[in-house]
Amino acid sequence: MPRRTDIEKIFLIGSGPIVIGQACEFDYSGTQACKALKEEGFQVVLLNSNPATIMTDPDLADRTYVEPITTEVVERIFERDRPDSLLPTMGGQTALNLTVELSQKGILDKYGVQTIGASYEAIHKAEDRGAFKEAMQQIGLKVPASGSVRTREEAFQLLEPIGFPAIVRPSFTLGGAGGNIAYNREEFENFIDWALATSPVGQALVEQSLIGWKEYELEVMRDLKDNVVIVCPIENVDAMGVHTGDSITVAPAMTLSDKEYQRMRDAAVMIIREIGVDTGGSNIQFAVHPETGEMMVIEMNPRVSRSSALASKATGFPIAKIAAKLAVGYTLDEITNDITKVTKASFEPTIDYVVVKIPRFTFEKFVGSDPTLTTHMKSVGEAMALGATFKEALQKAIRSLEIDRFGLHSLHGLDGQYSSVPNDQNLVAHITSCLQTPTADRLWHLADGFRSGLSLDELYAITSIDPWFLEQIRQLVEFEHTLAAMGTIPDSHPSSRSQEAVDTHQPSQDLLDHAKKLGFADERIVQLLSRNLPHSQTREPAPPSHHQVTYKRVDTCAAEFEAQTPYLYSTYGLQCEARPTNRQKVVILGGGPNRIGQGIEFDYCCVHAAMALREEGIESIMVNCNPETVSTDYDISDRLYFEPLTKEDVYHIVETERPLGVVVQFGGQTPLKLTLPLEKEGVPILGTSPDSIDRAEDRKRFSELLNELGLRQTRNGSAQSPDEAHRIAAHVGYPIMARPSYVLGGRAMQIVYDSDSLDRYLQTTLLDTSQFPLLIDHYLEDAIEVDVDAIADRQDAVVAGIMEHVEMAGIHSGDSACSLPPHSLSQNLIDEITTQTVALAKALGVVGLMNIQFAVQHDRVYVLEVNPRASRTVPFVSKSIGVPLAKLAMKVMVGKTLRELNFTQSPSFKHMSVKEAVFPFTKLGAVDILLGPEMRSTGEVMGIDKDFGWAFAKSQAAAGLALPAQGTVLLTVKDADKKATISLAQRLVNLGFALHATRGTATFLEEQGLTVEPVNKVKEGRPHIVDFIKNREFCMVVNTVGSTSSQEDSAPIRKEALYQNIPYFTTIQGAVAGVMGIEAMLRENLTVRSLQEYQGTPRGN
């Protein structure tokens, strides 16, 4: 069937901010969809509140709305743009939920908008557990026993047929959120109470737990002619009980025979038909009993998902693109396979390599969070690797994670050991206990299990991980033992510590070759070989080029047809298919797995770099290992290497491709860390020189630079030991800001108020001395923080955007809301900041992008830090000013001047943009939501409007916490904020809000003549503050705290506000901005405008 002609204008919904469970995979799908629909001549109207996405680039859609994803906004858009159809399947759960809401509110009917891809009915059937269960039984498939309850009594009744272990989850929360496994009545009771309280409708689901069953996922595509194909079967290494997003997964499925797989495939085909997903991709999860083979259907996502992104990257089959084409009428046999260019999309990819995905976690940033992996997702990112075998792919995936592990490092000091019998019972017991609860480290504990003498059967009994996977790990451990034995010089050797002894005990070339084939990184080999050697004698492995690395192509067809698209992965084989060209080329290093502090913003920059190179006629070569990203789409760059971002792996690519240079400034800290090591190997680095990067990163050199330029810095020092830390802290004066060197996202960064607190920080937060040198700065209290993005070539430096933080300095810039242009800074200060930025750019010889953080205290400007690379705010600024900064920077790096690019002046503004951060607190359990210097947000949203008030209000709505228009506000503030609270309270009263406050705050405000109702603190007896929040009697909470003890006292307030989804402010500045937002909302109605309208014609291209 050809393209539909009855529709012309398609409305597409993005997934909004990056949160746990919904990351940049939906930028990948949305971007593919936009491109595919435009290619077919449709008009695309797009809504996404996340500015860091490629899909919201103004040239990808006809109308791009960076506005809150709410029905009110959609209705405004429908009024203005009158789309005839809506494609709901590309923006994750957010888009599906919104579509359901639009349908239920009659908005789709009112504006005559039809859904394409999946109908409301299909979405409902797949998403509603009851309807889904019924549908499955209809077609003879089994689902776990389950039911929904509204009271504790009902829950216990339902438990009888279900039995333990049972999964308890709140109803109607974002996919998988809040599931818990109860093993006994006590746990069950607690979870039920919690789930009933958490669910927006006071309903909990109780379900038979299939913990320990094998878990599989199938990606299914269907077209309007009812052709169905399975893109890829994926097997979870972690058995049921760990959310698939938190599981190590592998493609293709490893331990299913054909009969078993085909039975699953039959089921998948029947399911997509029964649910009635007309076209496009769906993801279906199955569980298989390891001893009986009994199969159950777990769930179906009637949309493109994280797994679709993984399956797309794993096979080369562009699920989202094809799903978009199917939605507008094409059938699979009418769409050409992009990779082979000769075959059709109606086939099932077959792969001749193994793909392993490992999730990446960030528990260390959330003190008090529970690191147990369970049925709701906790990981913030993932890395994927391809290898000729599982072992190779696994080891590549490990080093792709960037967690300072290059292989199966022992966590118990057992490297190189391998034992078939346990010889240390205490150790065995300890490792067993580590393995009993699934955590992020389970893979490494498994390896230690083998090292300590646990058998495969024992490890299977503890973990339920399929023996085939365990055997693979065992083989690696055994090989490590062989290799390490080569590095051990017998004590009997006459000169066992001499260089000569080391040299003669070299492992054979054969053994090293074999190690490389098993996926061992050079680092790991060296570690194992030098295990018993004094540090000075650490030997280097054979030079990288000594091992014959080859690159193979991902071609969807296991080499049956010639691959026309250079999508490559490395392995140690006979034949290399890289076939580098003789063109001018540049290697762009990507950002690797998403983590807090480094995510989609950097991928956005890498994608723009590739586009810029294409415009300049230079070949772009992308290196990245994050399957969720747009940058790893095979059509973004000219050549894609899906490889770990380590020195070794990057070096091999450079050797093969011989580029003009490597770009390190777009991918965040990951490539930046590689700058010096790569330069040492003679790899040319484009843009700002490695020496300049070091000058900005190295505190000492940086201080010298500021002195030279006469710029102000807070008093600071660098400590090598705890004693020195105390000395420096006393010298610079408390409060201080303490942090380890070379960190991103403020890891282990803290404001310390006195020397006792410094002791605590050194002992608990810093963990070990390897984190020294410790950087110590005097902390500027109540200063305004300012973020500046600038771009420079060799002659000029231009300030692209000055962002004023809403929260005071000391809150990590990634976690603070900010306004562009500044909403309160004087022109003098802006001029001063501009002058300093230009001076720094020139002094550092910046070529490309640069980000500077300033603090302004009492009208004095301090330089906090300079990052000579693309910052997290580049996409936000680019969207706001209508200039693609990353593109310009890439062009500058390959020789263009800013003058040639027509970007020589800071832009002027007719509108205000506000960026707000989005946090994962609800997902990670017991975590305090107070903001601090350590970054904890996962994503961001943008609000744009003509004034700051509305822009801020939009940013809050986009972040999921719409500001209230009426009601009662709770105020409980620290003494230092009390004065500032007066005008805040007065303004709220003027707007018609009632005020409640804790006693201290209430008394203070009453003295000022305000009417305030006092409420009990938790300690003061009931009904207390938390009761009121639970009863939803407050529409907004303002809670600022100073000392640690008051932080602990007030934690339940913030936690409850979070669970009840009540807007809360933990800084007075934030609350003031909130009030400005409410004032704007009450003054005039919501209006929406597209980026295209804000920007006129894009400039700077």
Partner 1 sequence: MKKALLVLEDGMVFEGQPLGYEGEAIGEVVFNTAMTGYQEILTDPSYKGQMVLMTCPQIGNYGINPEDAESHRLWADGFIVKESAPISSNWRSRQPLQEYLSQHQVVGIQAIDTRALTRHLRDFGSQQGIISHTNFDPERLVQQVRRAPSIVGRDLVSQVTCQIPYEWKEGSGNWKPTLSVHQPENKQNFDREAYRTVVVDFGVKQNILRRLIDIGYQVQVVPASTSMEEVQALDPHGIILSNGPGDPEGVPYAIETVRRLIGWRPIFGICLGHQILGLALGMKAHKLKFGHHGANHPVLDLRTRKVEITSQNHNFAVGIADKTDQESLEPRIFPTKWGRVQITHRSLNDGCCEGMIGLDTPILSVQYHPEASPGPHDSASLFYEFFKMVKTYHE
Contacts to partner 1 by CB under 8 A: 139-140, 225-227, 229-230, 233, 252-263, 265-267, 269-270, 273, 289-293, 331-333, 343-344, 346-354, 388-390, 456, 466-468, 471, 510, 514, 517, 550, 552, 557-562, 573-575, 577
DSSP structural state of residue 537: G
The smaller minimum CB distance to partner 1, of residues 182 and 465, is found at 465
Question: What minimum distance in Å lies between the beta carbon of 461 and partner 1?
Answer: 14
The smaller minimum CB distance to partner 1, of residues 282 and 1069, is found at 282
The smaller minimum CB distance to partner 1, of residues 274 and 633, is found at 274
| Helix 390-400 and helix 467-487, axial crossing angle in degrees, nearest 10 | 80
Quick check: helix, strand or coil at residue 586?
strand
Question: In what side-by-side order are the strands of the sheet with 43-47?
Answer: 63-65, 43-47, 9-13, 85-87, 114-115
How far apart CA 518 and CA 909 sit, in angstroms, is 56
Residue appearing with tokens 């090293």: 512
Q: What Å distances lie between residue 426 and 41, 423, 480, CA to CA?
A: 68, 9, 23
Beta strands 214-222 and 280-288 are: antiparallel
Question: What minimum distance in Å lies between the beta carbon of 388 and partner 1?
Answer: 6
The smaller minimum CB distance to partner 1, of residues 510 and 1007, is found at 510
Question: What minimum distance in Å lies between the beta carbon of 545 and partner 1?
Answer: 19
The smaller minimum CB distance to partner 1, of residues 560 and 615, is found at 560
The smaller minimum CB distance to partner 1, of residues 250 and 1010, is found at 250
How far apart CA 876 and CA 816 sit, in angstroms, is 14
Tell me how far the alpha carbon of residue 349 is from its chain's centroid.
28
Question: What minimum distance in Å lies between the beta carbon of 440 and partner 1?
Answer: 25
| DSSP codes of every residue in 769-800 | GGGPSEEEEE--TTPEEEEEEEEE-SS-EEEE
Residue among 623, 567, 568 nearest 591 (CA): 623
How far apart CA 288 and CA 300 sit, in angstroms, is 16
Question: What minimum distance in Å lies between the beta carbon of 269 and partner 1?
Answer: 6
β-bridge partners, 26: none
Instruction: Give, for 865, the enclosing helix (H) or strand (E).
Output: strand 860-867
How far apart CA 370 and CA 532 sit, in angstroms, is 37
Question: What minimum distance in Å lies between the beta carbon of 239 and partner 1?
Answer: 13
Alpha-helical segments (H) within 658-771? 669-680, 690-697, 699-709, 722-732, 755-760
Three-point CA angle 916, 917, 918, nearest 5°: 125
Question: What minimum distance in Å lies between the beta carbon of 33 and partner 1?
Answer: 23
Question: What minimum distance in Å lies between the beta carbon of 506 and partner 1?
Answer: 18
Q: Is 511 exposed, middle or buried (0-12, 13-18, 19+ CB in 10 A)?
A: middle
The smaller minimum CB distance to partner 1, of residues 554 and 931, is found at 554
The smaller minimum CB distance to partner 1, of residues 332 and 636, is found at 332
The smaller minimum CB distance to partner 1, of residues 143 and 267, is found at 267
The smaller minimum CB distance to partner 1, of residues 86 and 271, is found at 271
Residue among 758, 754, 820 nearest 787 (CA): 820
The smaller minimum CB distance to partner 1, of residues 252 and 717, is found at 252
Question: What minimum distance in Å lies between the beta carbon of 1100 and partner 1?
Answer: 44
The smaller minimum CB distance to partner 1, of residues 256 and 1078, is found at 256
Question: In what side-by-side order are the strands of the sheet with 716-719?
Answer: 716-719, 774-778, 736-740, 750-752
The smaller minimum CB distance to partner 1, of residues 156 and 347, is found at 347
Question: What minimum distance in Å lies between the beta carbon of 342 and partner 1?
Answer: 8
Encoded tokens for 686: 């484009």
Within 8 A by CB and 6+ apart from 428, the residues are 422, 452, 453, 454
Question: What minimum distance in Å lies between the beta carbon of 520 and partner 1?
Answer: 16
β-bridge partners, 663: 588
Helices (H) and strands (E) in the chain, counts: 37, 38
Encoded tokens for 739: 């942090």
The smaller minimum CB distance to partner 1, of residues 129 and 514, is found at 514
Question: What minimum distance in Å lies between the beta carbon of 465 and partner 1?
Answer: 10
The smaller minimum CB distance to partner 1, of residues 257 and 1045, is found at 257
| Helix 258-275 and helix 120-127, axial crossing angle in degrees, nearest 10 | 130
The smaller minimum CB distance to partner 1, of residues 293 and 733, is found at 293
Question: What minimum distance in Å lies between the beta carbon of 318 and partner 1?
Answer: 17
Question: What minimum distance in Å lies between the beta carbon of 958 and partner 1?
Answer: 42
Question: What minimum distance in Å lies between the beta carbon of 339 and partner 1?
Answer: 13
Question: What minimum distance in Å lies between the beta carbon of 27 and partner 1?
Answer: 29
The smaller minimum CB distance to partner 1, of residues 355 and 383, is found at 355
Residue among 16, 281, 90 nearest 918 (CA): 16
149 — phi, psi (to 5°)? -135, 155
Quick check: helix, strand or coil at residue 819?
strand
Assess contact for 31 and 53: CB atoms under 8 A.
yes
| Own/partner pairs, 499-506, CB within 8 angstroms, 24+ separation | 499/537, 502/533, 502/537, 502/539, 506/539
The smaller minimum CB distance to partner 1, of residues 84 and 333, is found at 333
Quick check: helix, strand or coil at residue 387?
strand
Question: What minimum distance in Å lies between the beta carbon of 585 and partner 1?
Answer: 25
Beta strands 204-208 and 214-222 are: unpaired
Question: What minimum distance in Å lies between the beta carbon of 561 and partner 1?
Answer: 8
Residue among 896, 917, 803, 904 nearest 854 (CA): 803
Encoded tokens for 1092: 């295209």
